[in-house]
Structure 1
């Protein structure tokens, strides 16, 4: 099937539905955990796995899923991912016990791991270069709505119906997305043989699982155990690099990490995603804690930041790739200022204005990460690049959740003034440090580019002079 405007729209619709479901499930159950515990007769310690196993599964499997889509068909993997996500959501909705729910959440995360990088690479390949940024931005804008409104959608469904309604909602949406995906064009990486680097895939997955579990559970462990986990993850990643150097068909081409703009955008996106998770965790709870709003009123108050975050996706899609690093630098600097303003806000009106600005800035930075990285790599390996990027920023999201838990006030919770201010200031410091690093990198990059331009101009001028001299001698 060839790519036409109609098939492109089907791809965009399928990807938008997939992103919405995945992001909704990442944030919708946080406030429903006590209800889940009561219904399934489960203790508090095991309930965290309902959310953390989903994030761990999604983050650690994206790297392999992206490259498998390149090799065996991006449309095929997108349909499979949506089918797995929908079927596991059905199991979650019917789960009679906690261990069944947690196991289904792992499978649900695996489905999400296929949908995100494969969907991004599909849009990159079915849309022409002048339209793909806008298309990706629109899909990510839909995901931004689910990200920002997830906690309140989850709490509303839990209060009105049941926490199971969150999973029931996914079933028809995933089926609809799979039907739409089946009507779009297929695309492959035709430049590489269809051979899977199984050793690299197993090693990379093991390294990411070790790192993600250490980040997620580290605040409950002693330092020797945390250190052992980090050392094991580093050893596995080192072995993965050695395997990729000699692999005939590597899972990840190491030359990808020589692409300066790609690396800069991915690492900056990891910081931006950490800040976004912290923002989404702290602000709604602070509205209820420090500002003493009810859950319903806090949800209404948070609509403006949520809308700003959703509109940021299409805006990011219009940023040309050459300007992406500059815009990301500005976003991180502005994000740091916004977070400081939130920490020092003296009234609710000021707090909500700063929160709305934060939603716009951080939403732009997050969407720009995924849009712009697809614009600075070869389209045939788009799945590989999006898999690496999504893996990095998803693990960073786990770090953001761990950081939020670490700075929480043990007596009054993270919504208290002391705890929220500490969390916001730490996050602002990270954003500002990354902004400075990007500014230095941009300055160095511009100087090198200017020198290369001058050298080329000198060579051209000398070539013309030699040509003129030869002409006169003749």
Structure 2
């Protein structure tokens, strides 16, 4: 098979996979009230339909990225798409909220294999001059699903059922798996073939316990919360010590000394959390605060959807040397726009400001994936992508879970003043992250040059 054909199959598989992942992350936002009625569930438990999926995805991405480097990205991408499709079938047939949430956890595991492995596959099959555009195109497709998810989910819920969102995944996942299986990947046979299973288990357990403690810890007696926090600390210490001494570390410690990579990843965690909160709150606000039916709420959200969808390709064309400056500007701009969103007094103004917010957040969110891949070594692309996606997805999942703390018990997070509170907290976080990045740049922080990529990530693997 020619290199051009391989690139096309890889890009198509990644586009389909990202579309499914992002559609399922946000396609159920407008459908949550109907899911509660159909499954006889209510209260803050419904938010787990969204947050359980995000947390599962983020928790497992770290290991998935490294496993892709070792055993082959094509294999893991194909497996991830098949797992995603099968779990979607269970979601579509779920008879209760507990079954639905459990299936969403498995679905998140499939998504964890797709995203970092797919990005690493594109990094490996595309030449340096085309990687940014290919990744930007794939993320642009994901942006379409991210932004139009509430609209698609709202229409399907109103015309058919919320279960139709999951039925839609099945043929798409099969198509993606077929495309991934036709990709020919060049694997470095001299690369490490071992996996640090103890480190993988320790990191995954630490992230899982951390998610539970943050989401539920405030409701526990203080001894239980303290015990949970202690377990997290012990597991993290074990993981750090293990990675320092392991012959084949899951994550090279040198990755965390890569300052451009860490700066972009941490800023990206804030940007992604802001994006997820925006996509979670605004569609529900159109139903709650502005009292629109599901179909009209989804239609009103189309302009922000289009703005966010075009952000991926735009970010892919951004100069690599300007990545940190552009990320700083996007974070500060997002903070300003989110504050303005809470001050609007008419529906027209609300949709207009939301459209600007969608564009700014879309650029910042897509830039994270593209820029971080540009400052690491190509043979560790899956590992770095897994770390990045783990951090930003767990942060976003925790944000959605904590949104229930300020939600109106009767009408949910889309009602005033709960929606404004969530947006303001998100804006403050974005502003703080932008200020920290600006201070780091002022002190001499610079993104790595493309010619110095090997030095940016430490010595080669042993």
TM-score, length-scaled by structure 2:
0.91
Whether the aligned pair in 1 keeps the contact of 2:13 and 2:177 (CA below 8 Å) is: yes
2:105 matched residue in structure 1: 106
Whether the aligned pair in 2 keeps the contact of 1:219 and 1:406 (CA below 8 Å) is: no
1:277 aligns with 2:257: no
- 1:218-237 alignment to 2 at 5 Å? 218=217, 220-222=219-221, 224-237=223-236
- 1:134-283 alignment to 2 at 5 Å? 134-188=133-187, 190-218=189-217, 220-222=219-221, 224-283=223-282
Shift in Å, 1:299: 1.6
- Partners of 1:106 and 1:388 lie apart in 2 by 19
- Partners of 1:91 and 1:413 lie apart in 2 by 26
1:404 matched residue in structure 2: 403
Q: Deviations over 1:346-391 (max 9, x none)?
A: 3333322211110000011110011110111001110000000000
2:451 matched residue in structure 1: none
Shift in Å, 1:67: 0.3
1:330 aligns with 2:329: yes
SS in 2 for 1:445: coil
Q: Deviations over 1:75-103 (max 9, x none)?
A: 11101111111122122223345444333
Whether the aligned pair in 1 keeps the contact of 2:13 and 2:179 (CA below 8 Å) is: yes
Whether the aligned pair in 2 keeps the contact of 1:188 and 1:380 (CA below 8 Å) is: no
- 1:288-299 alignment to 2 at 5 Å? 288-299=287-298
Q: Deviations over 1:194-242 (max 9, x none)?
A: 0110100000010011112223334544555444333322221111010
- Partners of 2:421 and 2:38 lie apart in 1 by 35
Whether the aligned pair in 1 keeps the contact of 2:51 and 2:401 (CA below 8 Å) is: no
Count of equivalent residues: 448
- Partners of 1:174 and 1:447 lie apart in 2 by 40
- 1:326-405 alignment to 2 at 5 Å? 326-405=325-404
Q: Per the alignment, do residues 33 and 189 of structure 1 end up closer, same or farther by CA in structure 2, a change over 3 Å counting?
A: farther
SS in 1 for 2:191: coil
1:443 matched residue in structure 2: 442
The higher radius of gyration belongs to 1
Q: Per the alignment, do residues 263 and 72 of structure 1 end up closer, same or farther by CA in structure 2, a change over 3 Å counting?
A: same
Mean Cα displacement is larger for which, 34-43 or 367-376? 34-43
Q: Deviations over 1:281-340 (max 9, x none)?
A: 222222233333333222222111111111000011112222111110010011011011
Whether the aligned pair in 2 keeps the contact of 1:301 and 1:352 (CA below 8 Å) is: yes
- Partners of 2:71 and 2:63 lie apart in 1 by 12
- Partners of 1:408 and 1:187 lie apart in 2 by 49
1:433 matched residue in structure 2: 432
Shift in Å, 1:119: 0.2
- Partners of 1:135 and 1:442 lie apart in 2 by 28
1:305 matched residue in structure 2: 304
Q: Per the alignment, do residues 131 and 241 of structure 1 end up closer, same or farther by CA in structure 2, a change over 3 Å counting?
A: same
- Partners of 1:334 and 1:47 lie apart in 2 by 31
- Partners of 1:441 and 1:121 lie apart in 2 by 28
SS in 1 for 2:345: coil
1:5 matched residue in structure 2: 4
Q: Per the alignment, do residues 106 and 415 of structure 1 end up closer, same or farther by CA in structure 2, a change over 3 Å counting?
A: closer
- Partners of 1:80 and 1:447 lie apart in 2 by 38
2:458 matched residue in structure 1: none
- 1:12-31 alignment to 2 at 5 Å? 12-31=11-30
Shift in Å, 1:43: 6.3
1:55 matched residue in structure 2: 54
Q: Per the alignment, do residues 219 and 188 of structure 1 end up closer, same or farther by CA in structure 2, a change over 3 Å counting?
A: farther
1:459 matched residue in structure 2: none
TM-score, length-scaled by structure 1:
0.89
Gapped regions of structure 2 (runs ≥ 5): 449-462
1:463 matched residue in structure 2: none
- Partners of 1:295 and 1:47 lie apart in 2 by 17
SS in 1 for 2:292: coil
- Partners of 1:360 and 1:40 lie apart in 2 by 35
Supply the RMSD in Å over aligned alpha carbons.
2.3
Mean Cα displacement is larger for which, 374-383 or 99-108? 99-108
Gapped regions of structure 1 (runs ≥ 5): 450-474
Shift in Å, 1:184: 1.6
Q: Per the alignment, do residues 125 and 433 of structure 1 end up closer, same or farther by CA in structure 2, a change over 3 Å counting?
A: same
1:125 aligns with 2:124: yes
- Partners of 2:408 and 2:45 lie apart in 1 by 21
- Partners of 2:52 and 2:12 lie apart in 1 by 27
- Partners of 1:74 and 1:150 lie apart in 2 by 27
Mean Cα displacement is larger for which, 223-232 or 71-80? 223-232
- Partners of 1:121 and 1:447 lie apart in 2 by 24
- Partners of 2:433 and 2:47 lie apart in 1 by 31
- Partners of 2:447 and 2:91 lie apart in 1 by 54
Shift in Å, 1:34: 4.4
